Amino acid sequence: KRVTAEPDNWTRTSCVYCGVGCQMEVGRSAGRVVAVRPANSPVNRGHLCVKGRYAFDFNHADDRITSPMIRRDGGWEPVCWDEALDFTARRLQEIVDRHGPDAVGVLGSARATNEENYLAQKFARVVIGTNNVDCCARVCHTPSAKALKTMLGTGAATNAFDDIEATNAFLLCGANPTENHPVVGARIKQRVLQGARLIVVDPRRTELAALADVHLAVRPGGNVPLFNAMAATLVEEGLVDRDFVAARVVGFADYVAFVADYTPEKMAAVCGVAAGDIRAAARLYAAGRPSMCFHGLGVTEHLQGTEGVMALINLALLTGNLGKPGAGINPLRGQNNVQGAAQMGCDPASLTGAQSFKDAGPRFEAVWGRKLPASHGLDLLQMMDAARDGELKAIWAFGYDIYQSLADAAETGTALSRLDLLIVQDLFLNRTATFGTVFFPAASVFEKDGTFMNSDRRVQRVRQVLPPPGDARPDWWIIQALAERLGKPDGFAFDGPEAVWNEVRALWPAGAGLSYPRLDNDSPNWPCPDERHPGTPVLHADHFADGKAAELARIPFVATPEQVDDTYPLLLTTGRTLNHFNAGTMSYRTPNATLAPSDTLDIAPVDAAAYGLKDGDIVRVRSRYGHACLPVHVTPAMRPGQLFTSFHRPDLFVNQLTSSVRDRLVHAPEYKVTAVRLEKPDG
């Protein structure tokens, strides 16, 4: 129940939900959060959405866990911190002694601050001695980071949100910011209403798709042929920015030869979009210059997720839409600190600041006082495989409900059940805790200090509003305490987040200018190499990585093996909705649950009629991986043959359905394409 009271104190902090990174003031009264109001910042300009403004009551939910617990005799037994830490340290040490450090994996989280994610990966590499460290970015925008880093040199959005008002045309791909990044969605809509052109690539007729000049309702799995066909149009119709290509791009002649096989007329049937619409979109994107591309998980969560982003980067390179205001390739990061979690080094293949072991390793070894682990680390999905196969014995997961979140839940459950030690660190007993050995109660975003990193490369302060309840502690405190118990206190004796952040700044040149005193008044976009540097709203103004030209990527189309057939004749995509957030851990413990009490199965009217379904009917959806029951929502936003559902409500457990297919390069699950059939609930 919400407690209503006049706040007697307001604290400025960052929103805990999406990657827009809105700034807010949190009102406190009698030891509770009782209100949130928007703060002014370059990101949100005095606005908040229904999640940031109203969904804060999770902090005081009755089922908040406030004591460490150990599983004994099949149940959870509350214990003191000394007992929990001693028990966990002993079990971890036994596993390392018996199976080696690579039998342990650590998972950081967007719910944790930059400082906490930095300590998590340092713990993995220094205390345990493994590169088995990853975070939730793996399942969303690791494909974006990989594509942007590979082709342009920096794995982050190229342009700041402020460029929305400077663009003439938007290419919005696989993203529904009206619901998932609402403050940015509203800014895009405003700019479109002022005259900017809008191209939307989305299988569904979203609010912005309905407003678009061209809506390309791509068949799920058809992004690469669609983007290649747009590129072919640019080449064929003389819409390439020849000066930009000559000055800053290599591989043009080879690319022209490659893309000639991907004309809109050849690709229309493959991607499900009329050739004329593909050509119209390419012309608008080229003519709009500067044109700004935003993309979301509808691009990344595919077999060719990384390659889909690379195909988008090709479009920007061909039209000169990089290195200038109002342009760029901009992933809309889903979670508050998902950019920061990976950027801090919760990535098996890179160190803090996305720096390579080869270039930066010696500096890290000098500061950390030990050799870096030599072995190749496992990513999150590889950890699941290794756990299933009995090779990974322990996982420590921070603020991340793996079981609820990963695709193909049955496989995830099998993997988690085979671990010898699963340390769950969260506010609540989440679904992953079903398999947990130890539970560490974490402080919430309102109960700790630190920083988050948003979608447009700003580091922003998180400030403590309240003390944590009971024995809950900030993640950074817990990591340091466990390092001490494991006999490795050196390098883990920081007196607070600012000291941790200063070590990050010392190791990450692009963040060196972002001191806490500066962040009190300012949030420049990194790179910001010194305290007088103004920040870098536009990346690649003069050159790409290491002063080089960028190379166009020739991306052949590879069809997903997840295809419809007579047994599974419908295609299901999954995504998020306005009132809720991800696994629902927070938003379902707020009044937003009243606004949107359930996920729904969205279905086209013609399919609903064929199956005899109407709004509110409960239907069982069955895939090759599992089944779930959902209430039907009939809507003309869906194309015939396609279904959509969100995955927020914990008990509906939609990821029982989703596919085991993964991105070919970085293993993000293909949440966007699952073949299913519909059955009566008792069928």
**15 touches ligand SF4 by CB under 6 A:** yes
Residue 51 touching ligand SF4 (CB under 6 A) = yes
CA proximity to 353, closest of 529, 515, 499, 123: 529
Spatial CA neighbour of 422 closest among 21, 76, 669: 76
* The token pair that represents 334 in the structure block: 């889903």
Return the residues of window 167-196 that contact ligand SF4 according to CB under 6 A. 181-183
Does 21 participate in binding ligand SF4 (rule CB under 6 A)? yes
What are the distances in angstroms from CA 345 to CA 14, 253, 434, 515?
21, 37, 28, 19
**What is the nearest approach in angstroms of ligand SF4 to the Cβ of residue 136?**
16
Instruction: Report if residue 585 touches ligand SF4, rule: CB under 6 A.
Output: no
Beta carbon of residue 252, minimum distance to ligand SF4 (angstroms, whole number): 39
Residue 580 CB, shortest distance to ligand SF4, in Å, is 11
Toward ligand SF4, which CB reaches closer, 15 or 482? Answer: 15
Could you say which of 44, 142, 355, 582 contacts ligand SF4 (CB under 6 A)? 44
We find the least distance from the C-beta atom of residue 48 to ligand SF4, in angstroms, to be 4
Find the helix or strand (DSSP H, E) in which 446 lies.
Answer: none
In whole angstroms, what is the distance from residue 123 CA to residue 128 CA?
A: 7
Neighbours of 666 (CB within 10 A): 22
Q: How far is the CB of 49 from ligand SF4 (least distance, A)?
A: 3
Regarding 344 and contact with ligand SF4 (CB under 6 A), the answer is no
Single-letter amino acid code for the residue at 496: G
- Quick count: other Cβ atoms within 10 Å of Cβ 194? 8
457 forms part of the interface with ligand SF4 (CB under 6 A): no
Residue of closest CB approach to ligand SF4 = 52
How far is residue 530's CA from residue 59's CA, in Å, rounded to a whole number? 37
CB of 181 to ligand SF4, least distance (A): 6
Told to check if 332 binds ligand SF4 by CB under 6 A, we report no
Give me the residue label for tokens 């895939």.
623
Which pairing describes strands 104-107 and 459-462: parallel, antiparallel, or unpaired?
unpaired
Find the shortest distance in angstroms from Cβ 566 to ligand SF4.
42
- Considering the rule CB under 6 A, would residue 52 count as an interface residue with ligand SF4? yes
**Which member of 26, 33, 34, 49 binds ligand SF4 (CB under 6 A)?**
49
* CA 391 – CA 382 distance, rounded (Å): 11
C-alpha 162/C-alpha 42 separation (Å) is 7
Answer yes or no whether residue 34 interacts with ligand SF4 by CB under 6 A: no
Q: How far is the CB of 58 from ligand SF4 (least distance, A)?
A: 14
Q: Which stretch binds ligand SF4 (CB under 6 A): 15-23, 90-98, 248-256, 561-569?
A: 15-23
69 forms beta bridges with: 78, 439
Closest approach of ligand SF4 to the CB of residue 123, in Å: 28
- Tell me which stretch binds ligand SF4 (CB under 6 A): 49-57, 90-98, 204-212, 304-312: 49-57
**Which residues within the stretch 153-172 sit at the binding site for ligand SF4 (CB under 6 A)?**
none
The count of C-alpha atoms lying within 13 angstroms of the C-alpha of 640, restricted to the half-sphere facing its C-beta, is 6
Residue from 17, 118, 403, 435 in contact with ligand SF4 (CB under 6 A): 17
**What is the spatial distance between Cα 307 and Cα 297, in angstroms, rounded to a whole number?**
13
- Smallest separation, CB 51 to ligand SF4 (Å): 4
Amino acid, res. 37: R
CA distance 519 to 672: 38
Taking CA atoms, 598 is separated from 224, 324, 354, 405, in Å, by: 33, 43, 38, 17
| Strand 642-646 with 570-575, pairing | parallel
**Stretch of residues binding ligand SF4 (CB under 6 A), selected from 47-55, 150-158, 230-238, 243-251:** 47-55
Contact call for residue 48 and ligand SF4 (CB under 6 A): yes
Q: Which of 628, 558, 116, 666 is nearest to 336 (CA)?
A: 116
**In the beta sheet, which residues pair with residue 128?**
none
Residues near 533 by beta carbon (within 8 Å), at least 6 away in sequence:
513, 524, 527
Query: How far apart are alpha carbons 388 and 416 in whole angstroms?
Result: 7
Q: Which is nearer to ligand SF4, 17 or 364 (CB)?
A: 17
| Contact residue for ligand SF4 among 13, 18, 116, 267 (CB under 6 A) | 18
Count interface residues toward ligand SF4 (CB under 6 A).
14
Residue 192 CB, shortest distance to ligand SF4, in Å, is 18
Under the binding rule (CB under 6 A), the answer on residue 26 touching ligand SF4 is no
Binding footprint of ligand SF4 on the chain (CB under 6 A) = 15, 17-18, 20-22, 44, 48-49, 51-52, 181-183
